[in-house]
Copies of this chain bind each other. A is one copy, B any other.
Amino acid sequence: MNHLFLPVDAPVDAALRGFALAHPGLVSLHEDPLYVTARDRHPGRRVGLLSGGGSGHEPLHAGFVGRGMLDAAVPGRVFASPHNRQVYEASRAVAGGDGVLHVVKNYTGDRINFGIAAERLRADGIPVRRVLVDDDLATDDAETATGRRGTGATVVVEKLLGGAADAGLGLDELAEAGAAFAAASRSIAVAARAQTAPGRGGEAFALADGEIEYGVGIHGERAARTVPRPDFADLVDRMTQQVLDGLPDPEDAVLLLVNGLGATTLLELYAIHDRVRHQLDKRGVRVAGQLVGTFVPALDMSGFSVTVTALRENWLDWWHAPALTPAFPLSETAR
């Protein structure tokens, strides 16, 4: 059956209206084409920051619109890329004196649609650069030309870019910094139950009892492997080690994201966080900042992901820089 509570017609439009009504002090809604913008912007920011992608990953991206993070978010339909007209119009609305930076998760549809919008913006004389997020280790050795998928690291990249933009970086510096944030981030995800298939209902893919998808994507892309479920500690340890080993340039200090994929509870995510920290301690890795919660889900999938970003100089200041958005947690900025 279909467990989702959504209107049949234009569910994303309804959700974005309800989102704007919930956060009237922080965001403004634009209905045609559909996007949201921040009500407030740091006076030092020279570049507009915009992200977007398919819906069904909330709070991404709209929940990170606001002072200190994104200036605009552009939602597509569920698991579908936004139209280039949405990206184009939203970009025009938030471009700064030094242009606009697009934060794009690495999926073909998003690359194409953001790319078309970027060409149109350049034709208007608005400078545009792109940061591509591609953190998912499950697709690291895929035999395709598309590269790694963009998943949980997106929220980390958006927060760091927000801090860097407020520090006054220009478009090219910001694009280079964003590429470095993405390059320093790796993730791995598992699922014990697929998300509900939007529309038709039912589970989007079937898992046998006692099996998990190891390396699942955030749209129900099947995993690299369906494997017998390890016990709790073994599973978390294996994921943590894989992410650490997958970092191109490991550092002593990292940012950590323990992310729920939708139906996985905070009780579980905090218990997972406890185990990840135990492993990081054993490896001598210091956690300088952490997020634990549902930040980049795949609708109502039962599962979670672990993301690690190896920190470099200055980055921690940008991580802890003030942010006032619907979904970025207070506890990471109020210190």
B267 touches A56 (CB 8 A): yes
Given that A59-B266, A300-B264 are known contacts, is A331 also in contact with B277, CB under 8 Å in the complex? no
B209, B277, B291: the one contacting A21 at CB < 8 Å is B277
Write out the residue numbers on chain B whose beta carbons fall within 8 Å of the beta carbon of A227. Answer: none
CB distance from A335 to the nearest CB of B (A): 5
Contact with B along A301-327 (1 / 0, CB 8 A): 011100000000000000000001110
B235 touches A5 (CB 8 A): yes
A192: interface (CB < 8 Å): yes
Interface size classification for chain A: 35 or more
A15: interface (CB < 8 Å): yes
Write out the residue numbers on chain B whose beta carbons fall within 8 Å of the beta carbon of A277. Answer: 18, 21
A263: interface (CB < 8 Å): yes
Write out the residue numbers on chain B whose beta carbons fall within 8 Å of the beta carbon of A324. Answer: 330-331, 334
CA of A163 to CA of B272, assembled, Å: 33
A270 touches B18 (CB 8 A): yes
CB distance from A272 to the nearest CB of B (A): 6
Given that A15-B268, A56-B265, A302-B300 are known contacts, is A232 also in contact with B3, CB under 8 Å in the complex? no
CB distance from A262 to the nearest CB of B (A): 6
B300 touches A7 (CB 8 A): no
B263 touches A8 (CB 8 A): no
CA of A260 to CA of B11, assembled, Å: 17
A55: interface (CB < 8 Å): yes
B7 touches A233 (CB 8 A): yes
B272 touches A5 (CB 8 A): yes
Write out the residue numbers on chain B whose beta carbons fall within 8 Å of the beta carbon of A329. Answer: 326
B58 touches A267 (CB 8 A): yes
Write out the residue numbers on chain B whose beta carbons fall within 8 Å of the beta carbon of A4. Answer: 192, 265, 268
CA of A268 to CA of B325, assembled, Å: 19
Given that A18-B277, A23-B331, A58-B266 are known contacts, is A1 also in contact with B210, CB under 8 Å in the complex? yes
B266 touches A63 (CB 8 A): yes
A257-306 interface with B by 8 A CB criterion: 262-275, 277, 290-292, 294, 297, 299-300, 302-304
Residues of A in contact with B (beta carbons under 8 Å apart): 1-8, 11-12, 14-19, 21-23, 25-26, 55-56, 58-59, 63, 78, 192-193, 207, 209-210, 231-233, 235, 262-275, 277, 290-292, 294, 297, 299-300, 302-304, 324-326, 329-331, 334-335
Given contacts A7-B271, A8-B231, A17-B270, 10 further A-B contacts (CB under 8 A): A1-B209, A15-B268, A15-B270, A21-B273, A22-B273, A58-B267, A58-B270, A263-B263, A294-B294, A324-B331
